[in-house]
Chains A and B, each alone.
Chain A
Amino acid sequence: MPKMSGAAVLIKSLEYEGVEVAFGVPGGAILPAYDPLLDSPIRHVLARHEQGAGHMAEGYAHATGRVGVVIVTSGPGATNIMTPLQNALMDSVPIVAITGQVALSSMGNDAFQEAPTTGMAMHCTKHTFLVTDANEICDVVHQAFHLASTGRKGPVLIDIPKDLLVTEIEWHEPGPVDLPGYKPSRAGHSRQIERAIDLIMEASQPVLYVGGGIIAAGASEELLQFAEALDVPVTTTLMARGAFPDAHRLAMGMPGMHGTYTAVTAMQEADLLIALGTRFDDRVTGNPATFAPGAKVIHVDIDPAEIGKVRNPEVPIVGDVRVVLEQLVSALGVRLGDESLPDRSHWLETIAGWQAKYPLSYQQEPDGPVKAQYVIEQLLEATGGDCIVVSGVGQHQMWASQFWSFSKPRTWINSGGLGTMGFAVPAAIGAKVGMPDELVVAVDGDGSFQMTFQEMVTASTEKVPIKVVLINNGGHGMVRQWQTLFYGRRYSATDLSGDSPNYAALAEACGWVGMMVETPDDVGPALRKMLSTNDRPVLLEIRTDPDEMVWPMVPAGGSCSDIALGPEDL
C-alpha cells in the first residue's frame, strides 16, 4: 500500500467517520493537516477566532445531532478552544477537537506556540488523547468519535504533534474500539423499572422534570407517549426546551431561577419527581435542601455520577433515557392491565389554576421603550415558530426561552451549563451550516454579541445567511438586574453604551444587511423584512428598555418556594 502523510491519514480518518464539515483556524503546528483538506470532500469553515470555531462545532452538533469537528493549531489556538470544550462538557455536546502540537522532540521545552493542551483540556473534556505514534492516528480518531457520540455525549480532544503529521505511514481502517474502561449502559435495571412504576402508581402529584438528555437521546416521541399515558405535567429545563411541545396541555414551561411560577411551584408541591436526563442543576433547584421537599425521586440518567450527586433518588435508573422510557411505557402497560392510575384530576386542575393566575407577563406600552419580551413574541409570530433559535447568555436568553413556544427538539440552541456569553453568533453559523434549509435566528444581547462578533465575517465569507436579532439594552442586563435588586442600584461596569458601536453599520461593514429600530411599531415590519432577506446574513438591532428585568426569579441559593413574580416579592 502506498504511504501517505500522517496529516493525510488524519483527514481520511475524519472522512471515514462521516465528517462533512470541520470548523477551524490554521496555524503552524496544524499546518500539514490543512494541505490534504484541500483535496477532501470535507467542507472547512474558516472561523475568525478559535473560540468561534469551537462554538460553531457545538451549534452544528446541537442542530444536527452529529459530532461537530473543530481543528485548531497549538498554543493560542488550543487555549482559545478551552471555553467551547468546557461549554460542550457542561451541556453534553458531542464535538471532537483536533489540536496541532509542537513536535514530539520539542514538547516540554517551551517551544514556540507550545501549550500543555492535554493537561489544560483534561478536565474540560470527556477524554483527551495525545498521539505519540503516527500509526495510531486513525484508531485514536475512531475512539474519539465513539466517546463523543455515545453514553453521555461530550467533547473529546486529540492533540497531534506536528512531526507525526508529516510522518509517512500506511492507511489502515481503524480496528474495533478498544476502550475497556468505557461501557455506558443502555437499558435500565428491570427491578428499578418496576419500583419506578410502583411510585408512579402511588403518586397523586407527580411531575416530569425533563432535561437535555431527552434531546441528546432523541427521546421526545417516547417522552410524549409516556407523559400522555400517565397524564403527568411536564417541565422542560433550559437545555430541554423543545423536548416537549410547549403548546401541549401538560406543558408547564421552564423550571428554575427564571422558570414559570407553575413549573417551579409544581415541583415544590410534587410528591413525585420523574427526573429524566437532567442533573438537578443549581439554577433549577435553588437551595437543594429546600427543593421539592415532599417529592420522592425517580432519576434516570446515562451518567451514573449524576445520580445521587445533588439529590438521592428513591429509584435510581442508569441507562439511555430513550431505552428506559420504552421500558417504562411497556412496564406501565402491563401494570395498567390490572390496576388503574390514581385520580389526578385535582392536581391537573391545581396546575391549570396556577397557569391561569400566574402566566409569564410583561407590559409593552405603545409609546414606551421596546420590551425584549415583545420582540420575542413578534419574532415567534413572524416565523410561525418554524425556525432554529440560537441564543447568547443573559436576559435575552431567558426571555427567548420563556416567550418562545417550542414544538420540536433541536430548535433551541444555547449555552446552559457554562453560560458562555458570545455563544450565539458562532453557534448559529454552525447550526445553519449543518441545517442549510432551516431558518436560523440568533437572539443575542449587546453584551454577549460583542464577545464574538468577528464571526459575522465568517458568516458572510462562508455564505451562511443567518439572522441576528440583537436585543440592545445598552448593557450587561442580567448583571445590571442583580445590581438593581441586590446592590442598591449601584451600577458597576454594566453600562455598554447602547450607541456604540453602530451595530447596523458594523454589520454592513461585514457584508451583512444591518438594520435598527427603536419603537414597538417598527419591530414587526423590521422582523418581516429581516426574514425576507435570504441572500445575505442580516442583523436587526432593536433598542430595548434597559430597566426591564427577567421575572419570575428565584434568587441564587434561595428556596424555590420563595419564587418572586416581581421586585415587590423579594
Chain B
Amino acid sequence: MHHTLSVTVQDKPGVLARVASMCALRGFNIRSLAVGPIHQPGLSRITLVVDDVAVEQVTKQLHKLVNVLKVSELDPNDSLEREVMLVRVSADPGIRREVRDTAEVFGATTIDVGAKTVTFELCDHPQRLSDFLALIGHYGVVDLVKSGRIAMARDAKAKTKAGTEQ
C-alpha cells in the first residue's frame, strides 16, 4: 500500500530539495516523484508517492516547509493517475509484428525501431503500465524509463452530479 500526495509549492530555488530530503531524513521512502509548473504563475506541483508510512506525519512535515502551500492526499479510487513509460524491448525482425500487436492492444505507440529492438511509449494509469510491462517483458526489456506518477482529483462537480443521478 502506498499514498499519493499532491503538493503545491512555490517555485523557489531548492524547494524540490527541501521536499525530497525532508522525506529522506525523516525516513519516508519516496516511490515516485514528479514535478512541473501549474497554470498559476510561480507555482509548481509535486506528485509524491510514498510508502505506507504515517502519512499524516508526512503531510504535517510537508506543511512545515515554508514554500509548501497545499498538501492533499489523493484517494486512488477518486483520482486520475497517469505515468509515462518508454520501454525498449528485443524484437528481431521475425517477431517484430507480434511484439507490436501486443503493444497495440495497450495503445502503446512505437516511437523507435532499431535493428533488433522496438521502443514503445505508453501513457496510462500506472497499473496499466505494469500490466503492459508484464506482457511485453517476455520479449526481453533492454531499457526502461518512467516519468514518475502525476495525479489529480476527479472533478468534484462531476462526482456530485453522478451522485445525485443515482
A residues with a Cβ closer than 8 A to B are 118-119, 122-123, 126-128, 130, 132, 147, 179-182, 303-305, 308-309
Contact across chains for A182 and B14 when beta carbons are under 8 A apart: no
Contact assessment for A304 and B69 in the assembled complex, using a CB-CB cutoff below 8 Å: no
In contact, B66 and A182 (Cβ under 8 angstroms): yes
The chain B residue sitting closest to A132, CB to CB, is B13
Assess A181 versus B65: contact at CB under 8 Å? Given A122-B21, A305-B57, A305-B60.
Answer: yes
Question: Would you call A181 and B57 a contact (CB within 8 A)?
Answer: no
A123: B residues at CB distance < 8 A: 21-22, 25
Across-interface contacts of B25 in A (CB, < 8 A) = 123
Partner pick for A126 among B60, B63, B66, CB 8 A cutoff: B66
Assess whether A122 is in contact with B17, with CB atoms less than 8 Å apart: yes
Are A180 and B21 interface neighbours, CB within 8 A? no
Known: A308-B57, A309-B57. A130 touches B14 (CB 8 A): yes
Distance (Å) between the CB of A362 and the closest chain B CB? 40
Q: Nearest chain-A residue to B58 (Cβ)?
A: A305
Question: Given the complex of chains A and B, what is the CA–CA distance between A113 and B82 in angstroms?
Answer: 45
- Smallest CB gap from B65: residue in A: A181
Q: Is the interface of B mostly helix, strand, loop or mixed?
A: helix
Chain B residues packing against A (C-beta within 8 Å): 9-10, 13-14, 17-18, 21-22, 25, 56-57, 60-61, 63-69
Q: Give A182 to B66 CA distance when docked, in angstroms.
A: 6
Contact between B21 and A127, CB atoms less than 8 A apart:
no
Are B69 and A181 in contact, with the CB atoms below 8 A? yes
Contact A181 B22, CB 8 Å, known A118-B14, A130-B14: no
B98 to chain A, nearest CB (A): 51
Quick one: which of A130, A179, A180, A309 has the most chain B CB within 10 A? Answer: A180
- For the complex of A and B, list the 5 residue pairs with the smallest distance between their C-beta atoms, beginning with the closest: A305-B60, A127-B66, A181-B69, A182-B66, A181-B68
- Report B-chain residues with C-beta under 8 Å of the C-beta of A118: 14
How far apart sit A182 and B13, CA to CA, in the bound complex (Å)? 17
Residues of B within 8 A of A128 (CB): 14
B151 vs chain A, min Cβ distance (A)? 21
Is B64's CB under 8 angstroms from A303's CB? yes
Check B13 against A180 for contact (C-beta < 8 Å): no
Which residues of chain A are near B63, meaning CB under 8 Å? 304-305
Which listed residue, A122, A180, A305, A309, touches B14 by the CB 8 Å rule?
A122
Q: A119 to chain B: which residues have CB within 8 Å? A: 14, 17
Contacts of B22 in A (CB 8 A): 123
Per the bound structure, the CA–CA distance linking A418 and B61 in Å amounts to 19
Question: What is the CA–CA distance of A154 and B66 in the complex, to the nearest angstrom?
Answer: 13
Q: Judging by beta carbons under 8 Å apart, are B13 and A130 in contact?
A: yes
29 contacts between A and B (CB under 8 A): A119-B17, A122-B14, A122-B17, A122-B21, A123-B21, A123-B22, A123-B25, A126-B66, A127-B66, A130-B13, A130-B14, A132-B13, A147-B66, A179-B66, A181-B9, A181-B10, A181-B65, A181-B66, A181-B68, A182-B66, A304-B60, A304-B63, A305-B60, A305-B61, A305-B63, A308-B56, A308-B57, A308-B60, A309-B57
Q: How far is the CA of A168 from the CA of B67 in the complex (A)?
A: 29
Among B57, B66, B67, max chain A CB count under 10 A is at B66
Q: Which chain A residues border B18 with CB–CB below 8 Å?
A: 122
A182 to chain B, nearest CB (A): 5
Min CB distance, A91 to chain B, in Å?
Answer: 16
CA distance A490 to B21 in the complex (A): 39
CA distance A147 to B64 in the complex (A): 11
**In the complex, what's the smallest C-beta–C-beta distance from A309 to chain B, in angstroms?**
6
Contacts of A179 in B (CB 8 A): 66
Q: How far is the CA of A116 from the CA of B59 in the complex (A)?
A: 27
Collect the chain A residues with CB atoms within 8 Å of residue B9's CB: 181
- Closest residue of chain B to A181 (Cβ to Cβ) is B69
CA distance A66 to B18 in the complex (A): 28
Q: How distant is the Cα of A483 from the Cα of B68 in the complex, in angstroms?
A: 45
Q: Knowing that A123-B22, A181-B10 touch, tell me 7 more A-B residue pairs with CB under 8 angstroms.
A: A119-B17, A122-B14, A123-B25, A180-B10, A181-B69, A304-B63, A308-B57
Shortest Cβ distance from B57 into A: residue: A309
CA distance A132 to B13 in the complex (A): 10
Q: Which residues of B contact A127 (CB under 8 A)?
A: 66
Closest approach, in angstroms, between the C-beta of A153 and any C-beta of chain B? 13
Q: Tell me the bound Cα distance from A552 to B135 in angstroms.
A: 65
Chain B residues lying within 8 Å of A303, measured Cβ to Cβ, are: 64
Most A CB within 10 A of own CB, among B21, B57, B61, B63: B63
Tell me which residues across on chain A come within 8 A of B10, comparing CB atoms.
180-181
- Give the CA-CA distance A118 to B67 in the complex, in Å: 14
Assembled-state Cα–Cα distance A303/B65 (Å): 12
Tell me which residues across on chain B come within 8 A of A305, comparing CB atoms.
Answer: 57, 60-61, 63-64
Task: Return the chain B residue nearest A118 by Cβ.
Answer: B14
Q: How far is the CA of A182 from the CA of B64 in the complex (A)?
A: 8
User: Smallest CB–CB gap between B89 and chain A, Å?
Assistant: 40
User: Which of A122, A128, A130 has most B Cβ within 10 Å?
Assistant: A122
Query: B11 to chain A: closest CB distance in Å?
Result: 12
Give CA–CA (A391, B127) in the complex, Å.
Answer: 58
Closest-CB distance, B57 to chain A (whole angstroms)? 6
Distance of A302 from chain B, by nearest CB (Å)? 11
Give the one of A118, A128, A132, A182 with max B CB within 10 A.
A182
Contact partners of B14 in chain A: CB under 8 A: 118-119, 122, 128, 130
> What chain A residues lie within 8 Å of B21 (beta carbons)?
122-123
Q: In the complex, A492 Cα to B60 Cα: how many Å?
A: 42
In the complex, which of the residues B13, B17, B56, B67 contacts A181, with contact meaning CB atoms closer than 8 Å?
B67
Please report the C-alpha to C-alpha distance between residue A179 and residue B67 in the assembled complex, in whole angstroms: 8
- Expressed in whole angstroms, the Cα–Cα distance for A259 and B28 within the complex equals 33
Q: List chain A residues, Cβ under 8 A from B64.
A: 303, 305
Nearest opposing residue in chain B for A305, CB measure: B60
Question: What is the minimal beta-carbon distance from A264 to any residue of chain B, in angstroms?
Answer: 27
In the bound complex, what is the Cα–Cα distance between A496 and B110 (angstroms)?
Answer: 73
Q: How many Å lie between the Cα of A304 and that of B65 in the bound state?
A: 12
B38 CB, nearest partner CB in chain A, Å? 14
B40 nearest CB across to chain A (Å): 11
Q: Which residues of A contact B68 (CB under 8 A)?
A: 181
Contacting residues, chain A, for B57 (C-beta < 8 A):
305, 308-309
- CA–CA, A130 and B14, complex, Å: 10
- Cα distance A346–B13 when bound, in Å? 60
In the bound assembly, the distance between CA atoms of A308 and B10 in angstroms comes to: 27
Shortest distance from the beta carbon of A104 to any chain B beta carbon, whole Å: 12
